[in-house]
Amino acid sequence: MQNAFVETAAHYSVAVLSLIVFLAIFETITTYQNWEEIKNGNIAVALATGGKIFGVANILHFSIEHNDAVLTMVLWGGYGFILLVFSYVMFEFLTPMFKVDEEIANDNRAVGFIAFIISSGMSFVIGAGILA
């Protein structure tokens, strides 16, 4: 693309659409209803969901930064999202003494905060591996 304004708008549009799709997928993975819980004031769900939003946006940031083509950006973003989902599943697997989704649904803010940190932190690790 030749025009920086058009290129920025294209990246923004694709990133927002990708974020909506990825959040819808996360909604089906978790056992609780993210937006209903947030509406009801569940801070743990808000933290976990905020971490997912930040994580996906950060992965897309790295993807935009390292790729000129929008399609390549989306492919790397999708791959990064899959790895982020894997990180979330590993969190559940590595904590056999409790169920992460149940604790978050019950507004356990400590678990919600750790979920936030895992999503945020792993997004930097995933993003660092994105190549042009």
Residue among 21, 19, 87 nearest 56 (CA): 19
Query: What CA–CA distance (Å, rounded) separates 103 from 114?
Result: 11
Number of structural domains (the chain) is 1
The reported pTM is: 0.90
Q: What is the pLDDT of residues 79-106, one digit of tens each?
A: 999 999 999 999 999 999 999 999 999 9
Q: What is the pLDDT along the chain (132 residues), one digit of tens a residue?
A: 578 899 899 999 999 999 999 999 999 999 999 999 999 999 999 999 999 999 999 999 999 999 878 888 899 999 999 999 999 999 999 999 999 999 999 999 999 999 999 999 999 999 999 875
pLDDT of residue 25: 93
pLDDT of residue 111: 97
Helix H or strand E segment including 127? helix 109-128
Residue 18: give the domain boundaries: 4-128
pLDDT of residue 1: 55
pLDDT of residue 70: 87
